[in-house]
A and B are shown apart, each in its own frame.
Chain A
Amino acid sequence: MSDSSSAMHDWLSGPLGLGYSPAEGVFDELVSPDGDVRSGWGEISDFLAGLSTDEWVRRWQQGQQALREQGVTYNVYSDTDRDAPAWRLDPVPMVVTAQEWTTLATALTQRANLLDLVLRDLLGNQQLLRDNHLPASLITGHPGHFMSCIDPAMAARPCLHLYGADLARAPDGHWRVMMDRTEAPSGFGYALANRQILERVFPELLRSVGVRHVRAFYRDMRAGLHAIAPGGKAEPRIVLLTPGFRNEAYFEHAFMARHLGCTLAEADDLTVRGGHVYLKTLDGLQSVDVILRRTDTAWCDPLELRGDSTLGFAGLVSAARQGNVTVVNSLGSGVVESPGLMPFLPGLCQRLLGEELKMPSVATWWCGQPIEREQVLAQLDRLVVKPAFPADRGEPVFGQTITPAGRQTIAERIRSRPDRHIGQEYVGLSTAPTWSSHGLEPRSAMLRVMLCRNRRGGWSVMPGGMVRVAPDRRGRVVSMQQGGGSKDVWVLGGNSVPATAEGDGGTHREVTEIRRSDGNLPSRTADSVFWLGRYQQRAEAQALRLRGALTCIDERLLPQATEAEKAVLQGLLAGHLAPDAGPADARKLLTMAGERAFSPDVPTGLHNSIEQLYRNAGNLRDRLSQDSWLAVDRVRQALQAAERAPGRQNLLLPRLDDIIYALRALGGALNDTMSRGYGWRFHDLGRWLERAQQSVDLIAATLLRQDGDNALVLNALLDISDCAVTYRARYLSEPELLPVLDLLVADLESPRSLAHQLEKMRDHVEALSRLRGPLLGEDQRLAIAAFSAVRTADINQLGTWHPDGSWPLLEQLVEYLQSQLYALGNAISQRYFSHVAGRGAQIAIGGFDTDPDEDTDDDSPDTDEDEP
């Protein structure tokens, strides 16, 4: 320890640790008041101190890279999707010794048991209220108290399955609970993601120090969820209910679904029939046994909870009440998520468990009680005032720092709604060493510890967790919403071998039945995969046309471009030009198209296609392979790089090349990793359908607009369709109309020909129709007809030029295909994505949607999600 201390001293005084001086009067996690390194840090601080600045930077960048590749995000509201910032993870871990951990774990297990008992009472017969052990108005005034969730049968079953506790370490070195998370606790996924990142940054250190593994905890969680299926079903279906892609923690939802091996579902994927919950899949309705919800109770069922919710599905409360589905945590579990409850916990613990509460909460006074209210008002200058209920947004107010006028305002606010406020002792959070641009600095930190019920119904504590740190060294509030960062938590005392047998699940071997079908793909997932294919292809076609336009005329000749040449440019750029763009200067045309391609305001532009691609891939985050996700990320990076490139053609071209390569790499990654089930078919169908549409549009925008077979057009067409090489290999001459038409329309062997595209499409449509019974569907009819029309077309006739200046047959065919393909897209959506078990808006009848008298604040679910 003395060695490490001296190394540490060097480090702390060296360039990295320069100025690492914890403030007086707070507990620092790394350094004791005497300047010694605390127990447990020895080997870790030695290792970190031994890294050169370059090495630090290299590893740090590795970590950043890993974060981006994993796509770890936490969306801060008010940001647009484009700016969804990457998750912030500090490379320096929080270290907890084995001994200290045991104390924490024991205390929190007790607290989880206690909160479960309180919850079961409050959702059941409410004896605690009748016997006056809890003030009734603390419960009935809680916005998370829903009368429809109260049912005496509830009390018979555990209600709390996942629990998170936010802990603060006071200056005396002891941990206190700041907040209990029971509604839909988050952080479970981020903690594992953080660990996966640090495993790439400090692999050797994690192993040599013997940091405990968090993966085993996931096995416990999974086994625990399996064990609570109604009727003890052996292979229950578990779904994770997410509010959707726009939720700030969507990453975590998808990540957890993947690691728990359950289906990620939005409300629209689920339905209630005869009091049972079902997942709407391509194969029809599949019954659901357990729902792990990440949607707050209020929003879960528009029939019995908030009527204006679009994030829930009607009938869930009733299904849960009848015991046909287990909801985790039980609907209504948020009623014990309130600091107002904290003053009562020691007494409740004695009463319900016959034990002392092992870990105190931060001293708290609920203003709904007259005596406590007066105490808070009398000590406003040293307390922290917070909302009593999580649904009430509001920052903590620190009495020490407010002005007398501010204090007056707070006092009035408390007096007008005493029950909605608490006063809390100010606890100076402990500080933890945090990597910043000026070396290590001590920042305020709060620890979240997470627990789940395991297979036997007991609690497993995640041996790790998540620390949130303040955005700078002066900050006293730790919040991801306010720009704070996170840290991994290293619990010492694990074995140094990569363990697989830690935790409760280790001894429980699951035997999985071999399965091959993916017919139970949720319809919404099939929809996303179809559109992913379409946007991939659309983006590629747009990029190819823009590149074709940029290269078809030598840049130096542009000022002298002929009318015919300008007309070709206009045709190629049609998708990107404003509809009324008249024949202008050729260079201006190109500049304008380049700008519009990358503008978010042009819905038909390349930018939006790639954003849509990204969005649909995001919806599939739990189903894409890691490499596919990386490829998606590369496409978006290439787009962003192109958007930063100045508008000059010679600079834009290589950027467009990059976009095209990235798109093709994505196509390859998806094609190589997707199993050839229905999901793949929808994806491939989307690609071929889009490619065929783009091909037809290209012919319409170029050939059909020309006066005759113009060499410039033909060359550009071959180039954009990637057929130039094939053409030259076959014909060894300048392009001519008929051979070009053959390649682009009729040649079954060429993936760029309409015949090939339509054949593939027809095959997929036919194969998918097995999901829908023997009758021929509209989609099949359209696909077969479109293929036949092209297959039976006579190229010689198509290429016959009419003296009045048109190709009547080619025009006819193009028009026919345009309308067929459009109708086909709709028919596929109708048949597979929309009608399944009644998709569409849920409309309330008979009641109010919202209270007409309530001048409600904007308490949309998007903003009151609990922070991880």
Chain B
Amino acid sequence: MTEELLYRIRHRTAYRYGSQVLVSQNLLHLTPRDTLNQRCLESSILILPSPAVAPSSRTDIFGNIVQNFDIDTPHKRFEVTSTSRVAVLPPSVPDPDGTPAWDAVPESMPTGLDAEHHLLHAYSARVEPQWLAAAIRDYAAPSFPAGRPVLAAGLDLTQRMFRDFAYAPGTTTISTPLSTVLRTRRGVCQDFARLLIAAFRCMGLPAGYVSGYLVTEPPKGQARLVGADQSHAWVRLHVPGWGWVDLDPTNGVPAGQGHITVAWGRDFRDVVPVKGVITGGGEHDLKVEVDVIPEAEIAGAAHAASGEASSNRPDRVA
């Protein structure tokens, strides 16, 4: 039986405004959800300045955990820190060559699904405009010869993107158009995830956007730096007869035990970690810090923590 890995995660978002913000309305996707291979053991959110009324928490149509709150004390700094403890098993991935042919997938989509699935279905999330769809399809086409098993094709495209695209932080923003990413062949995880989703949808395959974290190894011989990690984004592809399989185009691999899911949706907009509408504020300055620390690394606490985790081990095994 495979061991669960335990992580402690801290995700801090800090805004500084040029002038006072009088009121702000906010929405968070910061609490890691449960998935087939992941359980969120603890989580808490600290907001500064503290809202007069505690955040209202709910589960959205995709099963993500969402918090809403407003702040009406004038402020020039705004901070949200989400802290959580998550247990992750290795996700199970089917044999790629045993999956159904990709070109049979659009027809085999069962009707009678709920909206959560359908929102991720190709129909409801078409790639437009058409010239962009055509360009993306041209890029994706070599991975999709007729009759190829869908996951084999999907993995191949994921790996091709990993080879063809340069990871270049700072060259793109969340609003960089896909056409630019496709032309310049560079970007960050968000860009690659969006492009891969678009490519799957152009081929008629249901796909979704996953927001989360990836544990990173500090350079050999160096200590882990606080706040050095980042949020991560990848893609989920629907494989008929199996379910969803997560693919990470930034690393050219299926998601593994180091991928921690926070939320998923049709695209980034459905899962924005910290989103707000403010009145006032002027110029703003944003700082985000993420730490993903394997509990095994935490000296002294390591033993106790993994002991606790094994007593909580779930019956379901991926």
* Contacting pair A845 B175 (CB below 8 A): no
Within A240-296, which residues are at the interface with B (CB < 8 Å)?
Answer: 271-275
Q: Which residues of A contact B53 (CB under 8 A)?
A: 274-275
* Contacting pair B175 A322 (CB below 8 A): no
A70 to chain B, nearest CB (A): 37
Cα A140 to Cα B121 in complex, Å, equals 9
- Contact of A853 with B by CB under 8 A: yes
* Contacting pair B115 A150 (CB below 8 A): yes
- Contact of B114 with A by CB under 8 A: yes
* Contacting pair B277 A840 (CB below 8 A): no
Q: Mask for A309-323, Cβ within 8 A of B = 1, else 0? A: 000001100100110
- Listed from nearest, the 10 A-B pairs whose CB atoms lie closest are A838-B22, A314-B277, A132-B112, A274-B53, A314-B25, A136-B118, A846-B275, A137-B123, A315-B25, A140-B124
Q: Which residues of A contact B62 (CB under 8 A)?
A: 147
- Contact of B313 with A by CB under 8 A: no
* Contacting pair B178 A272 (CB below 8 A): no
- Contact of B273 with A by CB under 8 A: yes
Residue of B nearest to A853 (CB): B178
- Contact of B309 with A by CB under 8 A: no
Max chain B CB contacts within 10 Å: which of A302, A304, A419? A304
- Contact of A653 with B by CB under 8 A: no
Q: Which residues of B contact A83 (CB under 8 A)?
A: none
Q: Which residues of A contact B194 (CB under 8 A)?
A: 853
Cα A843 to Cα B274 in complex, Å, equals 14
- Contact of A804 with B by CB under 8 A: no
- Contact of A416 with B by CB under 8 A: yes
Among listed B83-91, B153-161, B264-272, B297-305, interface-contacting one = B264-272
- Contact of B281 with A by CB under 8 A: yes
Given A315-B68, A838-B279: 6 more A-B contacts, CB < 8 Å: A136-B114, A140-B124, A318-B68, A848-B175, A848-B269, A853-B128
- Contact of B295 with A by CB under 8 A: no
B216 to chain A, nearest CB (A): 24
Known: A140-B124, A141-B124, A840-B22. A845 touches B111 (CB 8 A): no
* Contacting pair B177 A852 (CB below 8 A): yes
A830 to chain B, nearest CB (A): 14
Residue of A nearest to B177 (CB): A852
Known: A147-B115, A419-B123. A318 touches B269 (CB 8 A): no
* Contacting pair B72 A275 (CB below 8 A): no
- Contact of B15 with A by CB under 8 A: yes
Contact among A273, A368, A852 for B175, CB-based, below 8 A: A852
Known: A839-B279, A842-B279. A275 touches B68 (CB 8 A): yes
Contact among B52, B127, B130, B272 for A846, CB-based, below 8 A: B272
Known: A130-B114, A132-B111, A322-B56. A137 touches B280 (CB 8 A): no
B93 to chain A, nearest CB (A): 27
* Contacting pair A848 B114 (CB below 8 A): no
* Contacting pair A840 B27 (CB below 8 A): no
Q: Mask for B164-200, Cβ within 8 A of A = 1, else 0? A: 0000000000111111000000000000001000100
Known: A274-B70, A416-B130. A129 touches B115 (CB 8 A): yes
9 contacts between A and B (CB under 8 A): A126-B115, A136-B115, A318-B27, A419-B123, A837-B22, A838-B280, A841-B279, A846-B272, A847-B174
A73 to chain B, nearest CB (A): 32
Max chain A CB contacts within 10 Å: which of B70, B198, B272, B275? B70
Q: Mask for A416-434, Cβ within 8 A of B = 1, else 0? A: 1101000000000000000
Known: A129-B114, A322-B56, A846-B272. A315 touches B119 (CB 8 A): no
- Contact of A131 with B by CB under 8 A: yes
* Contacting pair A147 B119 (CB below 8 A): yes
* Contacting pair A137 B118 (CB below 8 A): yes
* Contacting pair B275 A844 (CB below 8 A): yes
Known: A838-B22, A842-B277, A844-B276. A135 touches B111 (CB 8 A): yes
Residue of B nearest to A841 (CB): B279
* Contacting pair B269 A851 (CB below 8 A): yes
Residue of B nearest to A315 (CB): B25
A299 to chain B, nearest CB (A): 13
Which secondary structure dominates chain B's binding surface? mixed
A853 to chain B, nearest CB (A): 5
Within B216-234, which residues are at the interface with A (CB < 8 Å)?
Answer: none
B44 to chain A, nearest CB (A): 20
* Contacting pair A130 B70 (CB below 8 A): no
Cα A318 to Cα B58 in complex, Å, equals 10
Q: Which residues of A contact B163 (CB under 8 A)?
A: none
Known: A275-B68, A315-B70. A847 touches B272 (CB 8 A): yes
Task: Sort chain A's interface into a size bin.
Answer: 35 or more
Q: Which residues of A contact B60 (CB under 8 A)?
A: 147-148
Q: Mask for A845-868, Cβ within 8 A of B = 1, else 0? A: 111100111110000000000000
* Contacting pair B276 A853 (CB below 8 A): no
Residue of A nearest to B28 (CB): A846
Q: Which residues of A contact B267 (CB under 8 A)?
A: 851
Contact among A150, A303, A837, A848 for B276, CB-based, below 8 A: A303
Cα A273 to Cα B70 in complex, Å, equals 6
B269 to chain A, nearest CB (A): 6
Residue of A nearest to B110 (CB): A132
Q: Which residues of A contact B243 (CB under 8 A)?
A: none
Residue of B nearest to A135 (CB): B111
- Contact of A139 with B by CB under 8 A: yes
Known: A147-B115, A845-B276, A845-B284. A273 touches B72 (CB 8 A): yes
Q: Mask for A112-153, Cβ within 8 A of B = 1, else 0? A: 000000000000001001111001110111000101101100
Cα A319 to Cα B76 in complex, Å, equals 25
Q: Which residues of A contact B72 (CB under 8 A)?
A: 273-274, 838
Cα A841 to Cα B284 in complex, Å, equals 15
Residue of B nearest to A844 (CB): B277
- Contact of B129 with A by CB under 8 A: yes
Known: A136-B118, A275-B70, A315-B25. A845 touches B277 (CB 8 A): yes
Cα A307 to Cα B25 in complex, Å, equals 12
Q: Which residues of B contact A855 (CB under 8 A)?
A: 128-129, 132
Q: Which residues of A contact B272 (CB under 8 A)?
A: 846-847
Cα A271 to Cα B265 in complex, Å, equals 29
- Contact of B245 with A by CB under 8 A: no
Q: Which residues of B contact A318 (CB under 8 A)?
A: 25, 27, 56, 68
Q: Which residues of A contact B132 (CB under 8 A)?
A: 853, 855
Max chain B CB contacts within 10 Å: which of A148, A419, A852? A852
Max chain B CB contacts within 10 Å: which of A126, A130, A838? A838
A132 to chain B, nearest CB (A): 4
Q: Which residues of B contact A368 (CB under 8 A)?
A: 123
Contact among A132, A137, A271, A272 for B124, CB-based, below 8 A: A137
* Contacting pair B124 A840 (CB below 8 A): no
Known: A272-B70, A275-B70, A851-B269. A136 touches B113 (CB 8 A): yes
Cα A718 to Cα B189 in complex, Å, equals 77
Within A812-843, which residues are at the interface with B (CB < 8 Å)?
Answer: 837-843
B141 to chain A, nearest CB (A): 19
Contact among B61, B174, B273 for A147, CB-based, below 8 A: B61
* Contacting pair A840 B279 (CB below 8 A): yes
Cα A368 to Cα B280 in complex, Å, equals 45
Known: A275-B68, A303-B27. A845 touches B115 (CB 8 A): no
* Contacting pair B128 A304 (CB below 8 A): no
* Contacting pair A846 B274 (CB below 8 A): yes
Contact among B68, B112, B121, B278 for A843, CB-based, below 8 A: B278
Residue of B nearest to A131 (CB): B112
